[in-house]
Amino acid sequence: MKIQGRNAVSELIKTGKTIDKILMEKNPQGSLNKIFSDARKQNVRVQFVDRKVLDKESEDKRHQGVIAFASDYKYASLDDILGATEKTDSLIILCDGIEDVHNLGSIIRVAECVGANGVVIPSTNSASVTEAVVRISAGAAEHMRVAKVNSLNRTIDQLKKAGYWLYALEADGESIYGKDFGGKVALVIGGEDGGVKRLTREKCDYCVSLPLKGKVNSLNASVALGVAAYEILRTRTQK
C-alpha cells in the first residue's frame, strides 16, 4: 500500500508498523525534515528522489513531497473493537453503505478524534480502507480499529448482546439533542443516497436526527456523523 501526504506518512511512522521504504523529495523543508528524523529513529529506509519520481508514483499528485510504502491495511475484528476499552462509556461507528472514499476517510478521522473504539464497515456495498482513505483521514486510519464484517445486521445483534444501545442517524428521527448517551453506544450512519437501510434501522433501539433549518434536506454523511459524534461526546463530558 502506498501512503502519501505529510500527515498520513507522519501518523504511519508513529504506529510503528512495518514500512518498506519512504520516497522523499530532495532537499526536504519544514515538516518533511521532521518525517525524515522520525523515520531514521524507526530505522525506516528513506530514499531522496526528484519530484517527478513522486509525481509518477502518485496518480493524483497529492503526495506533498513524500510517499511511504507499507504492508496492506490490516483490519481489526469485531472482538478487537469490543475488547479495546475498559471504560463504561464507549462508542462504535457503523457505516451502512458508505461507498465514497472521501466520506469513509472523513468518518474514520472523526471517529478517531472523538475517541471512538472502532469503525465497522460491511464487506459489500461499501468503500474499503484504501490508500486514498488513509490519506483523506489524515492518517487517522492508522490509529483507528476498522472491522470489515459480512453482515451489519448480525453485527448489531452481537453488539446488543454485548450491552450496546444502537442509534440510527436518519433525517426523520427524534432530535439528537437532549438524549442521554451514557453507557455503550453504537451509532449507525447511512450511505450517501439511501441512508440507513430499513432492516438495519428496525434493528436499532432509537432513530435520531439533526435539525435542518435550511432549504437543503440532508447533510453529507461524514458531516452528519461529526455533528452527532460530538454531541455524544459533549453529553458525556458534561456529566
User: Residue 145 sits in a domain of what CATH number?
Assistant: 3.40.1280.10
Band the pLDDT of 139: cuts 50, 70, 90: confident
E-state strands within 26-79: 46-49, 66-70
Mean pLDDT calculated for residue range 168-193: 91
Q: Tell me: do 58 and 160 sit in the same domain.
A: no
Domain final residue pick, 16, 50, 70: 70
Nearest to 231 by CA among 169, 152, 173: 169
**pTM for this structure?**
0.81
Contact 99, 133 (CB under 8 A): no
Nearest to 103 by CA among 238, 220, 227, 234: 220
Domain final residue pick, 70, 103, 119: 70
Q: Tell me: do 14 and 110 sit in the same domain.
A: no
Domain span at 222:
78-237
Contact 117, 76 (CB under 8 A): no
Domain final residue pick, 70, 95, 128: 70
Q: What is the pLDDT of residue 100?
A: 92
Q: What domain count does the chain have?
A: 2
Mean pLDDT calculated for residue range 96-112: 95
